[in-house]
Structure 1
Amino acid sequence: MTVTAADSRPARRARPAGIVSRGLAAVVDALVLALIGLTVQLGAGCARLMVVGPPFQVPDVPNWIAGPIGWTLAVCYLGGSWAVVGATPGDRLLGVCVSDRAGRRLRTVRALVRAAVSVTFPLGLLWIPFSKHRAALQDLVVRSAVSYDRDYG
């Protein structure tokens, strides 16, 4: 057992998060990203209205542009959240946090790589039930762990 620096009690080992918690957190984050995308499109429509005039029209962005922009937005949102606070809003709502295997917050590059793998291969979560340590594909790639946050338990 390890002993925390703040006191002499043994540190509790965080319990790995399961597929349901992580899947629901991903759904919440997808909804947040959709809301951000909608806000950006409405803002662009408002800017167009001020420059060109009526009628109000939301810009129609071609898929070959919207796809990479959406992917980049999602990677920055997820990676930034994991690097800065250790959890996305969806993770916080479900009481889970992302860290390296030692329990430390992911550094920026690892968080962004994890986010890129998560966005590119979202079905990587399906590996969790088969993993001894409840690891998804993105956890195996960057050696990360997702556990229930002790502050919520």
Structure 2
Amino acid sequence: MHEHELSAVPREARALQGRRAGVVTRTLAAAVDAAVIAVTLLSLYLGYAGVLFLLDPRSFSFPDTQLFRSMLVAAGLMFVYLTAAWAVSGRTYGNLLMGLRVVGVYGGDVGWPRAALRAAAYIVFPIGLMWVAVDRRNRSLQDRVLATAVVYDWRARTRRPLTAG
């Protein structure tokens, strides 16, 4: 890129483009994603309570939230959110804010099956993210097992058009 061209990527960040992200950036992205799920769950709960209130306002009381059931719903919602985000664009909302993208180790898309396996591993064993702090190549345990990487990537994804032949 020439100096006179405009770029959405700050000059200081350009050197990091394509490099693997560290534990701090990835943890911040995960915290944003957890907040997205928490807000979504709260919205679903309040929406459900609102429907119950509309159906029978005289005997309304807020629905009971059993911890185990709530955790299962949260895990299911997180699984769908992570799988869809990583398979479609390689980024969750937290990744987008932090300038990260999940890719295959050779830079390609993750795809639906690997995104689903990665999401499941992320939910079942979230402490695996901390392996990034000790790995020389900034890989989590999930990255090592599923051949993925989390890289700094501020650019919009461009799809190459299909060509004949």
TM-score tier by shorter-chain length is 0.7 to 0.9
Identify if the C-alpha distance between structure 1 residues 13 and 21 changes in structure 2 by more than 3 Å, giving closer, same or farther.
closer
Give per-residue Cα distances to partners, 1:55-90, cap 9 Å, x unaligned: 654321322322211111111111110001110000
Give the one of 132, 143, 146 matched to 2:147: 143
Distance in 2 between residues matched to 1:55 and 1:45, nearest whole Å: 12
Q: Does 1:114 align with 2:118?
A: yes
Which structure has more relative contact order (CA 8 Å, sep 6+)? It is 2
Identify the residue that residue 71 of structure 2 maps to in structure 1: 67
Offset, 1:113: 0.9
Please tell me whether the aligned partners of residues 19 and 126 of structure 1 are also in contact (alpha carbons under 8 angstroms). yes
Offset, 1:150: 4.6
- Aligned ranges for residues 70-149 of structure 1 at < 5 Å? 70-149=74-153
Offset, 1:140: 1.3
Distance in 2 between residues matched to 1:46 and 1:120, nearest whole Å: 32
Please tell me whether the aligned partners of residues 18 and 151 of structure 2 are also in contact (alpha carbons under 8 angstroms). yes
Distance in 2 between residues matched to 1:74 and 1:96, nearest whole Å: 18
Please tell me whether the aligned partners of residues 17 and 151 of structure 2 are also in contact (alpha carbons under 8 angstroms). no
Identify if the C-alpha distance between structure 1 residues 104 and 60 changes in structure 2 by more than 3 Å, giving closer, same or farther.
same
3-state secondary structure, aligned to 1:146: strand
Please tell me whether the aligned partners of residues 17 and 152 of structure 2 are also in contact (alpha carbons under 8 angstroms). no
Identify the residue that residue 52 of structure 2 maps to in structure 1: 48
Q: Does 1:19 align with 2:23?
A: yes
Distance in 1 between residues matched to 2:61 and 2:27, nearest whole Å: 35
Structure 1 unmatched ranges of 5 or more: 1-11
Letter in 2 for 1:110: R
Offset, 1:47: 0.6
Identify if the C-alpha distance between structure 1 residues 55 and 143 changes in structure 2 by more than 3 Å, giving closer, same or farther.
same
Distance in 2 between residues matched to 1:100 and 1:58, nearest whole Å: 45
Structure 2 unmatched ranges of 5 or more: 1-15, 157-165
Identify the residue that residue 159 of structure 2 maps to in structure 1: none
Please tell me whether the aligned partners of residues 46 and 56 of structure 1 are also in contact (alpha carbons under 8 angstroms). no
Please tell me whether the aligned partners of residues 41 and 58 of structure 1 are also in contact (alpha carbons under 8 angstroms). no
Give the TM-score normalised by the residue count of structure 1. 0.85
Give the TM-score normalised by the residue count of structure 2. 0.79
Distance in 2 between residues matched to 1:103 and 1:57, nearest whole Å: 52
Identify the residue that residue 34 of structure 1 maps to in structure 2: 38
